Structure 1
């Protein structure tokens, strides 16, 4: 799908996001470590079809996290129906390791004056959240040059594993092999040409949670109770 739709999007004037240049390719790797409560509250919120949902994760843009990783993001993704918002802070490697060890109170003190840091850490502490699943995929990011707020991402080669640290790379399981997840992000109106393209390609709007689908792929032979 990525190979077939990418040339078409480029023909309509979209360009690769400049952020891919430092990766030396037309895509970059997204590597996320999702946190959840012992009762898997965030997983069940999505599986149960609740309107308001959230995800807490660590995210880096490389295959494996090391001490040399420039950007380590602690993120909270909020979703209400199809409306998405993201809050995130960049943390150093030593704080990442401290978070994994469970030193949450000290972390909260460090980030008490941060715009989003305190909120994210309070969520983690309140729900006793721990790392649960690592998800990795390739992302092709596209933008419209100029002032347009339209951004399209093509995510493929999605794979996952149960993990507690992105510094290690255990064997991963494919999640919907051969599938490309197309995310269209805009804040005003979707362009008419994109509407026509979506119709012509037979695409339909759908909610796809990489975290939830990864958990279910990993639990194929040992599903979580519903």
Structure 2
């Protein structure tokens, strides 16, 4: 899955506590197995303009929205390969396109000191960078993820994200994952990634446990927290 470069699917998010998590995991056992990369320490650099144009637009819940980020699965030095991703959402369908390159090259492309790769996805990223003009790393956001895929339907994926943290300093993927937590203690964010409908057995356990869909956005929540802390005059980090 990490090597896949083009995605088209629906994504549904759910916040749950540890008791609900155990019930969901028990229901998943006959139907799902850990995917090829069962556990990942995911690190992201979300790209935005100096006035946070992309995330402000996203929070308005338009019919179409997009996000850009640089992602690694674990700590990544300057010469190590990372993914530059363009994630679009149109009428609830998520489209994700990404390309792999060394982190230093990726940051150079964003800064305009290097050329984007001469291929279709590189051209799309170059267009986005030119369109937004002042694009730069705005927020570092990390989390621990456990991933599962369906036994019969491998396109059905379930992920559980814990320890979601963000910061506005040390904006590199070659650093520790310190920052401000976005989830309450014991809280977990589950994402269902499907090409069509949610399996009936999953719908049943969600109903039984009183687990409901949420519009939780990691970057959006981080941005709102940045604004709130700024209004309060609080320190960025404890």
TM superposition score category, shorter chain reference: 0.7 to 0.9
Match runs of 1:7-156 below 5 Å: 7-20=25-38, 27-62=39-74, 64-67=75-78, 69=80, 71-99=81-109, 102-104=111-113, 106-108=114-116, 111-112=117-118, 114-127=119-132, 128-156=134-162
Question: Following the alignment from structure 2 to structure 1, what is the Cα–Cα distance between the partners of residues 152 and 180?
Answer: 39
Q: 1-10 or 191-200: which moved more?
A: 1-10
* Ranges in structure 2 where 5+ consecutive residues have no aligned partner: 1-16, 233-238
Over the residues paired in the alignment, what is the CA RMSD in angstroms? 2.2
- 1:166 is aligned to 173
Normalising to structure 2: TM-score of the pair? 0.80
Q: Distance in 1 between matches of 2:128 and 2:61?
A: 21
Please name the residue that 2:6 is paired with: none
* Residue deviations 1:198-220 (CA, integer Å, cap 9, x gap): 10111112212111111222333
The equivalent position to 1:183 in structure 2, one of 175, 181, 191, is 191
Question: Where in structure 1 are there 5+ consecutive unaligned residues?
Answer: 21-26
Mark the CA change 1:67 to 1:49 in structure 2 (over 3 Å): closer, same or farther.
closer
| 8 A contact 1:34–1:211 mirrored in 2 | yes
Distance in 2 between the 1:97 and 1:15 partners? 36
- Identify which of structures 1 and 2 has the higher relative contact order when contacts are C-alpha pairs closer than 8 Å and 6+ apart: 2
**TM-score (structure 1 length as normaliser):** 0.84
Which deviates further from its counterpart, 171-180 or 30-39?
171-180
Q: Deviations over 1:50-77 (max 9, x none)?
A: 2211110000000x321463x4000011
Change (3 A) 1:44 1:94: closer
Q: How many residues align?
A: 211
**Helix, strand or coil at the partner of 1:17:** strand
**Residue 79 to residue 95, structure 1, CA distance change in 2 (3 Å):** same
After superposition, the Cα gap between the structure-2 partners of 1:80 and 1:210, relative to the gap in structure 1 and judged at 3 Å, is same
Is the 1:29–1:137 Cα contact (8 Å) retained in structure 2?
yes
Deviation by residue 1:75-132 (Cα, 9 ceiling, x = unmatched): 01111243211010001234124235x235x323xx23x1211111221222121110
Structure with the larger strand share: 2
Kindly indicate whether the alpha-carbon contact (under 8 Å) linking 1:160 and 1:218 is maintained by their aligned counterparts in 2.
Answer: no
